Structure 1
């Protein structure tokens, strides 16, 4: 009896997708009717939101409103991911991943701003959200991607220079933005003085600008898959070249169309979430975790899917790119808002979180010090993520 044929451990799962040459519809597909949901919800809450959110004492009303808003926001975020991935396919790496991370960071800034200026306000939410992004991505999602990819392929490869370039910018910006404010004496508490805040804004935007130039122009090859892996993927993707493709401008317009309603929805979802956290007497840091989890859900799914398809380079670009964009763009945006509104922005994390942040960076440097990854590295990162979750509730 002949043995059943099975894919080898290094064979891409793309080989087993049926009918990949089937032309895809280019017209207004059924999936785009989903746009009516966020637009309609945003319109309703724009007119009636303050009335509906004025009294949330009823558990049924609170659950219904919160569930409705969260569902629409998550669906919109996944739609943004879908169109960003189409743009990534058309524009190529790493530009496609940059579009995705900038879109997600825009959602994050909108939600943080909305939460900061709900009823009681939350001066430390930006800090909690950015720290949550670092912990969720560098520990939770990197660990899950490496673990699942290692289980399927034993070992996976990526471009070492690209990962090191990400970390070379992430580490100093995170330390300056999240750790240093706790030790400065120019302003009270874990905050920066106006001059220090201005310097951090300029430096963060400047470094990110230099990084984008390196990533997309001067050293673009650092952020694409190793040569042998790229050749194999090009051979596989050549099968789909005859399929009709939607124009880039259409995906760009639809991506923006899904993002715009989130401005209104972010403002209104902050009220029931803030009310729920105060009702349950939950830790303040949990608000940052919820914000980070909401905006990172589609991006994280895309990274895990890429790892399962043996495209670890794309997974690394998405995950490390989201951390870099969050730190280098969210901090300047929040500090600028603080200037205009004359609000205090708390950035410094406490001693326990500082130790966890340093440990995360050390483990990340060890993980991305070799070109091949395995399940052990993924398990270590997941362990650190579980430690982070535990320390939220009990330090």
Structure 2
């Protein structure tokens, strides 16, 4: 008697279905029913990406698992930014800045705040390694200031770099990011591992890790799912734009919504890690994504600007710089003790809420 036929799991089917659907709907007019169906598929693709990211992380261990998801999401996010910039339009000049800053605020306030809140609700206090988290935060803030604040104060008219200044910012961003990755994965890997209340490294998984074949399969499906998430988010963006216009919101708010969709896999993965007590994994994801978003986007945009026409506005306005300054101070005070309560998580989430509210009501 032959063994029963095993059907592929939904986490295998959904990424492939997302790509197939994306190919079929590209360039088509979408009705309300189709828009709703794509939204459901988008949510399923996000959940599938989270599953496969956790499989890969289980196989390779920390901090490599966090790095895989952060870099994968950011590479595809960068590709989306460049694609939209090539397509042109009056919003192209600020597209890179708006996208990167939205990702920065979502990661440093949204993912960090949610992770601390989830971890502290279960255990009273969330514990993490202040040395590794502090190094990640310092790198992320340095990248943010060099790429998003300095252009506002250069001698050029408008919040933009000159050619040589853009080259310097791109090289500095890439060097800092690569130096951090080397520190995180080689020279000081131990300070990025999850710890318990006594500072001992946690054994996250008591079961056997997945096989190499299963991990490679999940990595491939993770990339497929992420492409599906980004592609479906782009397809859904006209409907989002129409909804934003109908609500009387500024066009830049579309970037906030798309950034939330793009970062949904990392947010859910970080929350799951915090629920297990591995707060360090959550913070690795959040700050690693913030660094990757800047450290990979700015060099790519610098190269793309060779053939892209029009100005490239990277400098933030006064409102966003004030939010960035408060975020920096609060984040430092959160990280230095190496432990946090639900209060710190709540403060970060309120800062994200303030950013989203002011993006809707500038």
Relative to the length of structure 2, the TM-score reads: 0.89
For the pair 1:120 / 2:97, whether they are aligned, the reply is no
Instruction: Report the equivalent of 1:200.
Output: 169
Of 111-120 and 193-202, deviating more is 111-120
For residues 264 and 11 of structure 2, what CA distance do their matches in structure 1 show? Answer: 19
For the pair 1:167 / 2:134, whether they are aligned, the reply is no
For the pair 1:326 / 2:296, whether they are aligned, the reply is no
For residues 355 and 95 of structure 1, what CA distance do their matches in structure 2 show? Answer: 33
For the pair 1:237 / 2:205, whether they are aligned, the reply is yes
Answer yes or no: is the 8 Å Cα contact 2:233–2:258 preserved in 1.
no
How do 1:25-36 residues align onto structure 2 when only pairs under 5 Å count?
28-36=8-16
Q: CA shift at 1:223, angstroms?
A: 0.4
For the pair 1:40 / 2:20, whether they are aligned, the reply is yes
For residue 306 of structure 2, give the secondary structure of its aligned residue in structure 1.
helix
Instruction: Report the equivalent of 2:345.
Output: 378
Unaligned runs of at least 5 residues, structure 2: 1-5
Q: Label 1:75 to 1:344 Cα distance change in 2 as closer, same or farther (>3 A).
A: farther
Instruction: Report the equivalent of 1:16.
Output: none
Answer yes or no: is the 8 Å Cα contact 1:367–1:373 preserved in 2.
yes
Instruction: Report the equivalent of 1:340.
Output: 307
For residue 291 of structure 1, give the secondary structure of its aligned residue in structure 2.
helix
Answer yes or no: is the 8 Å Cα contact 1:170–1:324 preserved in 2.
yes
1:157 aligned to which of 94, 108, 127: 127
Instruction: Report the equivalent of 2:53.
Output: 84
Q: Label 1:337 to 1:277 Cα distance change in 2 as closer, same or farther (>3 A).
A: farther
Larger Rg: 1
For residues 180 and 267 of structure 2, what CA distance do their matches in structure 1 show? Answer: 22
Instruction: Report the equivalent of 2:326.
Output: 359
For residues 15 and 222 of structure 2, what CA distance do their matches in structure 1 show? Answer: 10
How do 1:174-253 residues align onto structure 2 when only pairs under 5 Å count?
174-186=144-156, 188-226=157-195, 233-234=202-203, 237-238=205-206, 240-241=207-208, 246-253=213-220
Unaligned runs of at least 5 residues, structure 1: 1-25, 54-60
For residues 339 and 276 of structure 1, what CA distance do their matches in structure 2 show? Answer: 34
Q: Label 1:78 to 1:111 Cα distance change in 2 as closer, same or farther (>3 A).
A: farther
For residues 231 and 369 of structure 1, what CA distance do their matches in structure 2 show? Answer: 18
For residue 168 of structure 2, give the secondary structure of its aligned residue in structure 1.
helix
Q: CA shift at 1:86, angstroms?
A: 0.9
For the pair 1:133 / 2:103, whether they are aligned, the reply is yes
Q: CA shift at 1:276, angstroms?
A: 3.8
For residues 209 and 243 of structure 1, what CA distance do their matches in structure 2 show? Answer: 28
